[in-house]
Amino acid sequence: MAVFHTKDISRNAFLVTGGAGFIGSHIVEYLLHNNAGKVRVLDNLSTGSIANVELFSKYPQYEFVKGDIRDIEVCKAACEGIDYVTHQAALGSVPRSVKDPATSNDVNVGGFVNMISAAKDAGVKAFVYASSSSVYGDEPNLPKQEDKTGNLLSPYAVTKMTNELYAAVFHRLYTLNVVGLRYFNVFGPRQDPNGPYAAVIPLFVSGILNNNPVYINGDGAQTRDFTFVENAVQANIKGMLCEKPEAFGKPYNVAVGNNFSVNFLYNAIREMLSVVHEPTYREAREGDIHDSLANITRAQELLGYAPTRQFLDGLRITVDFFRNR
């Protein structure tokens, strides 16, 4: 992975909530490989993987805390002695939130308020958090620009927009340095292909490899700005270490700036695996947007963000990971 910072971080302590999860574990890996002074992970392992935690046990500066962000005392303890927080802990998935909005709200809103409050009280230098492209809702214009959102289409989207509202208030009221990252369909190695709320790319790869049925929701013409996880890591590192006062208190699109249809994605995976495997089409999912494409100008100008992996490059790395594990 490329190096995304020039600052010496060997004396800094980082907290990664949700660090046993997909994106969080890649952030942890980056920090450890680049000599961060301390990397503490807070995770309750409800959706994170113990295997991801075990990847880092050889590093003396690594610390794992099993705990739930819905417990304010856990959040306060996790923030003790921390310089930078990247808050990735959440219950993802639009369908999960449609089925159980209350739990999504408890974790994604209640847990968020606990974490940002604890970070504020601990006097951290910056608080970066995961938002989502779902906050654009039914806003029809492409590419998506941060200041133009529409009607929200799912409880999950409501939780992420609420995070952004709280973050803006904490920035204005307490002068907390906050950066929100609106992820656009992040994918990569270690993304879980199992369970009812698995993401599309590991589902497709796993299904084709194992000769299981692969389902495409709707007609497959819907488009996404698929974003390799290395780009998400970059945004987190640059957000935490940012030294521009004008950059804080804002959400940023984290994407590549190109979109591809789900049908294109499926066929690309099938070609990379050299397997003939036909998908099964079914009804579109409730709460899903049809098309997604990001304008990344704000992140480029204020955070210095520049995607290092394009979609197909990242897809090859991801397919190889699942094929060889």
Which are the catalytic amino acids?
156
* Token reading at 196: 């009812």
Query: CA-to-CA distance for 295 and 283, rounded, in angstroms?
Result: 29
CA-based radius of gyration for the chain: 19
DSSP state of 310: -
Distances (CA, A) of 83 to 13, 51, 99, 120, 237: 5, 26, 37, 11, 13
Query: CA-to-CA distance for 241 and 55, rounded, in angstroms?
Result: 25
- Return the HEC string of 152-212: CCCHHHHHHHHHHHHHHHHHHHHCCCEEEEEECCEECCCCCCCCCCCCHHHHHHHHHHCCC
DSSP state of 82: -
* Token reading at 249: 């208190």
Residues ≥6 apart with Cβ < 8 Å to 36: 9, 10, 12, 13, 14, 61
Q: For the sheet containing 38-43, what is the strand order?
A: 62-66, 38-43, 13-17, 84-87, 126-132, 178-183, 250-254
